[in-house]
Structure 1
Amino acid sequence: MRFSASALLFDSDETLVSSLRSVQRVWSSWVESYGMTLEEAMARVEVHGRPAAEIAAALLPAGEVAEGLRRLADAEVADALAGGVVPVPGAAGLLASLPADRWAVVTSSSRRVAETRLNQVGIHPKFLVTSDDDLTHYKPHPEPFLLAAERLGVDPSRCVVVEDAPAGLAAGRAAGMATIALTTTHRPDELDADVTVADLTAVSARVDEAGELEIVVG
């Protein structure tokens, strides 16, 4: 499949950065400190693709949320700095083919955690939208992707979203954008996208004669 677009918008975790094992380690320890197992916490609240603040608010008493978030972020940063994250296959090559002002990272993580993980795998986006930005809504709402398009100065309908999570894909579709799904965290039948691939080794891009991105998948 081929797309003609002005920009690519990437999720971070499990789209550019393989952080699942890090997340499992850190979050298991964190919820256990509050008397829960990770399985129990996941049964109470959807955790994938949601801001940590929303998850903490659903799991902890109101008076413990702020301190809980600080402890969680400290642990996530420490694990990443200790080598707990690696790039998703194909990420480095794809990003190297893109001009810096033609792509952005749009994540539900905090800026501190997102920048640490991205930096650890050698990814330095010029444009980064995180849960710390002035957003009213988060994925699956389209606002984060629309903000990224605005910062890039491109028409949302000329953007292609690359995501691994149903919430992120729903946000991309709601923003009027084409979607590419990675099966790094979900089965293909759980992902509603224009095209689905295993990882970024299946995606390539170049700037064509008209100055637009020609994106080839497969």
Structure 2
Amino acid sequence: MLDIPRSAAFLFDMDGTLLTSISATERVWTRWAERHGLDVASFLPTIHGRRAADTIAAQDLDGIDVEAEIAWVLEAEMADTAGIEPAPGIAEFLAGVPAGRWAVVTSAQQALAERRMAAAGLNIPDVLVSAEQVTAGKPAPDGFELAARRLGFPPRECLVFEDSHAGVKAGENAGASVFVITGYQGVPDGFGHPNARDYSGLRAVFDPASGLSIEAR
């Protein structure tokens, strides 16, 4: 068994954690940044793990309609699913997690989350917390707290799977344990948390008496 506390439930980020959508995301946001004269190289690292509304508002651009810009980004992202695939080993990993013991907490809007999960061939869990369901996005803990509450467990008894700094901070701020998937953001130290490149060497094990654990396979 890996040195990770047993958990009542697993809370997964989506992009870069469950599936490989970073290239599609960056294609769309590159076009958006170019439309507004932003420096693409410095802008792109700031988008990951954050809601579109928060990313756009943070640019403090004069004379823009934020809601219209959010709609533009959503339409472009809905249309671009090229290269979206499940993270290696995730289907086998999720096979060991009972229904009602996992959720998705994403900074994407509900429609986009469903589109990307379908493109990756992944089942949508009963609990999916999307951007429009919370007042404050990551790094605020709201999404993970809401998912834990809907599953019926305290956040401190849950394990958050993340890949971005904003997402890791959200998990920490919720009081949850955190496991980092490093294969897409290229964070070798996992922000100081237990980590793995993907799920190909991992297995989820459920014990009704003690909950969920992660083992090497």
TM over 0.5: yes
DSSP-derived class of the 1:17 partner: coil
Shift of 1:3: 3.2
For 1:2-151, what aligned pairs fall within 5 Å after superposition? Answer: 2-42=4-44, 46-59=46-59, 60-80=61-81, 83-123=82-122, 124-133=124-133, 135-151=134-150
AA in 2 matched with 1:26: V
Rounded Cα–Cα distance in structure 1 between residues aligned with 2:42 and 2:210: 50
Q: Which runs of 5+ in 1 are unaligned?
A: none
DSSP-derived class of the 2:189 partner: helix
AA in 2 matched with 1:39: A
Rounded Cα–Cα distance in structure 2 between residues aligned with 1:110 and 1:209: 33
Rounded Cα–Cα distance in structure 2 between residues aligned with 1:6 and 1:62: 47
Shift of 1:37: 4.2
Question: What TM-score do you get using the length of structure 2 for normalisation?
Answer: 0.89
AA in 1 matched with 2:27: R
Whichever structure has more helix as a proportion of its residues is: 1
Rounded Cα–Cα distance in structure 2 between residues aligned with 1:152 and 1:4: 16
AA in 1 matched with 2:97: L
Aligned-pair identity (%): 38
Q: Which residue of 1 aligns with 2:151?
A: 152
**Cα deviation per residue 1:140-170 (whole Å; 9 max; x = unaligned)?**
2222111110000012221011111122112
Aligned alpha-carbon RMSD (Å): 1.9
Question: What TM-score do you get using the length of structure 1 for normalisation?
Answer: 0.89
Shift of 1:137: 2.1
Rounded Cα–Cα distance in structure 2 between residues aligned with 1:15 and 1:31: 24
Residues paired across the two proteins, number: 212
AA in 2 matched with 1:48: H
CA separation of 1:210/1:55 partners in 2, compared to 1, >3 Å: closer, same or farther? same
AA in 2 matched with 1:197: A
AA in 2 matched with 1:74: E
Rounded Cα–Cα distance in structure 1 between residues aligned with 2:180 and 2:31: 30
Rounded Cα–Cα distance in structure 2 between residues aligned with 1:137 and 1:145: 11
